[in-house]
Amino acid sequence: MAEKHIGKQTVALKNPPTIKATASIVGPKEGRGELKQCFDLIIPDELWGESSWEKAESKLVREAFAKLLQNAKLSNDKIDFILAGDLLNQCIAASYGLRETNVPFLGLYGACSTMAESMSIGSMLIDGGFADNVVCLTSSHFCSAERQFRFPLELGSQRTPTAQWTVTGSGAVALASQGTGPYIRNITVGKINDLGITDINNMGAAMAPAAADTILTHFADTGLVPEYYDLIVTGDLGKIGKKLCLDILRMNGLNIEANYNDCGVMIFNLNEQDTHAGGSGCGCSAAVFAGHIYKEMMKGNLKRVLFIATGALMSPVSLQQKESIPGIAHAVSIHRSLD
């Protein structure tokens, strides 16, 4: 077993990297949601002065990166790696949004699990002595995602009750080898899980088994109990997936209900904002982590958080070819202090 492995698939960082700063930018609908106070910037409309939604998403990435450097008081030449990805075909939001940064770039694709994936790899690169400063960043955009994955918005298609609403937003995290926390301590990289869900309008159901698998593995590997964390938060199962995740965990003897929530449930006001099952998209967990969770940790309201971003690894083509939807989830444990 590798030196820093504990249990089956969890690693424990010897010199836990610190989160030096975060940045978050969201769209107007997210800016009217439950977490509206916590974001760095709420853009006035979905185009944000650009000629397409895809270009607007790249701008979200570009500006989130710029805001992050400002918040972290870092210049781009101090960043060793950017780890970023998004949902658009060929991850163009990240590559176009970051092409002027002049920073070594490692592109990721983990669907909506990308924020936890980037923080996982970023933390290992710092703990391994390969980097002092790493930027982890993801984005999503409601309009570009609808166009690519579902229907053109112009059709005005009706959404099913199980559908989630892709968050317009970008979240960025600056990880550093030196600092005063919060610290990344343990990482559980997930496996692909596919239980045969084929409904593109029920991503929560497709991702819940992966989330539950990673959570069960995390607790088995670390020997911790759910109460150890102030918050266990999945990264966008929405309200249907959240319930399924709890059910699967309960069937496996783990009850996390007391301190469990989901970024897709938290970001909108589900009763009033007509987002059906809740938020989704890479930008959802990224903005909720960067905007809300990090700030609550800095205020001392959360001391230990287990952050599990979840992704559905399908494409419109795979669904047209009658494939089911594989899910994945990666968990990162974040501690306000190293006590």
Residue 332: both structure tokens together: 């990162």
| Among 27, 213, 197, residue whose Cα is nearest residue 113 | 213
Binding of its own copies by 316 (CB under 8 A): yes
Binding of its own copies by 332 (CB under 8 A): no
Binding of its own copies by 153 (CB under 8 A): no
Q: How far apart are CA 210 and CA 146, in angstroms?
A: 24
| Among 95, 64, 136, 62, residue whose Cα is nearest residue 332 | 136
Binding of its own copies by 166 (CB under 8 A): no
Measured distance between the N- and C-terminal CA atoms of the chain, rounded to whole angstroms: 27
Binding of its own copies by 25 (CB under 8 A): no
Q: Candidates 4-12, 18-26, 165-173, 219-227 — which segment interacts with its own copies by CB under 8 A?
A: 4-12
Radius of gyration of the chain (CA): 18
Binding string, residues 65-94; x marks residues near its own copies by CB under 8 A: ---------------xx---x-xxxxxx--
Contact 283, 137 (CB under 8 A): no
**Restricting to residues 99-138, which ones interact with its own copies according to CB under 8 A?**
99, 101-111, 117, 120-121, 124-132
Q: How far apart are CA 251 and CA 12, in angstroms?
A: 28
Among 22, 168, 177, 280, binds its own copies (CB under 8 A): 177
Q: How far apart are CA 253 and CA 175, in angstroms?
A: 35
Binding string, residues 273-312; x marks residues near its own copies by CB under 8 A: ----------------------------------------
Residue 193: both structure tokens together: 């899980």
Binding of its own copies by 151 (CB under 8 A): no
Binding of its own copies by 2 (CB under 8 A): yes
Strand partners, 169: 26, 140
Q: Which is nearer to its own copies, 54 or 262 (CB)?
A: 54
Binding of its own copies by 152 (CB under 8 A): no
| Among 148, 136, 151, residue whose Cα is nearest residue 54 | 148
Binding of its own copies by 230 (CB under 8 A): no
> Can you tell me which residue has the tokens 């594989």?
326
Contact 281, 167 (CB under 8 A): yes
Q: Which is nearer to its own copies, 31 or 311 (CB)?
A: 311
Judged by the rule CB under 8 A, the positions of this chain that interact with its own copies are 1-5, 9, 11, 14, 51-52, 54-55, 80-81, 85, 87-92, 95-96, 98-99, 101-111, 117, 120-121, 124-132, 148, 177, 189-194, 313-318, 321, 323, 326, 328
